[in-house]
C-alpha cells in the first residue's frame, strides 16, 4: 500500500517516495514522503472516498459538472471578484468557489489560499453538497462533523466554515461558495442570505458562459 499524508500547508495529499519536497508548497519532505511545514504536523488520511460522501445522483451530477466545462480553466476576474467581496463582507481570511469533481475539490477562485485543489475526502465541500441548505460549522473543534478533519487538526487550523451550494437550474450541486475562518464565529440570518445571493451570482456567471458557448457553436454551424 502506498503511504500518504495530508499536507496542511498546501492542502494536498503527499505520497511517499521520490520527492524531496512537496510538489505544491515546496516544503521539505521526510524520508516517508510527508511534507513538513514549520510548526505543523502532517495528518494521515485515507486514500479512498467515504461512500457516505457520494450523493445518490452522483453520475448525473458529474455530467452536469462536465456540461459547464469549468474544471481546470484559469482563474479569472468574474469569480475572483465574488470571493474578494465575500472575504471583505464577512471579514474572513479565506473565501473560495469550488467545484466537486469525482475525486477532488477544485478551486475556481480562492482568496487566502494558494492551493488549486484538494482531495475530495477530507474536503468539507464533499459533505456540504449532500444537503440542500447551507452547511455551517460555527466551531469546527466542537462540531462532531469536523472534529477529526485534517483541515481542522492541521496547520490550516480551520475553525469556522460556511458554504452555500452552487445549484444549477436543473437541481444539481456543482460545488460551493465558502467562507472560512481560523476563529469560531456565528453567522446571522442576514449574513447567510447575503452568502446565498453571492452563490447565485456564481451560478448566473456559469450559466451565461454556458449559453455563450452554445450560441457560438450554433453560429459556427451555419
* CATH label of the domain that carries residue 67: 3.30.450.40
How many structural domains is the chain composed of? 1
**What are the tens digits of pLDDT across the range 4-54?**
444 444 444 343 444 455 555 554 443 223 333 333 333 223 345 778 889
- For residue 159, what are the CA distances in angstroms to 138, 140, 151, 198, 206? 7, 5, 9, 22, 30
186 within 8 A of 137, measured Cβ to Cβ: no
* Residue 114 resides in a domain: yes
28 within a domain of the structure (yes/no) = no
Cα-to-chain-centroid distance, residue 175? 7
- pLDDT tens digits for 176-192? 999 999 999 999 999 99
Q: Is 102 a member of any domain?
A: yes
Instruction: Name residue, grid cell 457553436.
Output: 217
pTM value? 0.75
Cell, residue 67: 456540461
Assess if residue 8 is contained within a domain: no
Residue 128's domain comprises: 55-221
In whole angstroms, how far apart are CA 201 and each of 100, 139, 176?
18, 27, 12
Amino acid at each position: 500500500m502506498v503511504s500518504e499524508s495530508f499536507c496542511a500547508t498546501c492542502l494536498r495529499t503527499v505520497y511517499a517516495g521520490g520527492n524531496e519536497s512537496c510538489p505544491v508548497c515546496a516544503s521539505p519532505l521526510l524520508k516517508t514522503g510527508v511534507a513538513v511545514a514549520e510548526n505543523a504536523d502532517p495528518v494521515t488520511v485515507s486514500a479512498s472516498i467515504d461512500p457516505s460522501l457520494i450523493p445518490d445522483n452522483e453520475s448525473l451530477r458529474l455530467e452536469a459538472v462536465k456540461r459547464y466545462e469549468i474544471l481546470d480553466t484559469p482563474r479569472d476576474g468574474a469569480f475572483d471578484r465574488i470571493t474578494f467581496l465575500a472575504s471583505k463582507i464577512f471579514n474572513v481570511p479565506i473565501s473560495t468557489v469550488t467545484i466537486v469533481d469525482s475525486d477532488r475539490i477544485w478551486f475556481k477562485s480562492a482568496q487566502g489560499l494558494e492551493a488549486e485543489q484538494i482531495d475530495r475526502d477530507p474536503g468539507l465541500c464533499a459533505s456540504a453538497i449532500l444537503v440542500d441548505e447551507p452547511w455551517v460549522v460555527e466551531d469546527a473543534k466542537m462540531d462532531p462533523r469536523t472534529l477529526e478533519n485534517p483541515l481542522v487538526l492541521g496547520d490550516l487550523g480551520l475553525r469556522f466554515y460556511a458554504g452555500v451550494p452552487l445549484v444549477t437550474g436543473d437541481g444539481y450541486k456543482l460545488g460551493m461558495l465558502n467562507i472560512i475562518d481560523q476563529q469560531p464565529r456565528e453567522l446571522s440570518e442576514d449574513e447567510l442570505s447575503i452568502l446565498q445571493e453571492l452563490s447565485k451570482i456564481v451560478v448566473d456567471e456559469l450559466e451565461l458562459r454556458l449559453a455563450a458557448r452554445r450560441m457560438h457553436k450554433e453560429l459556427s454551424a451555419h
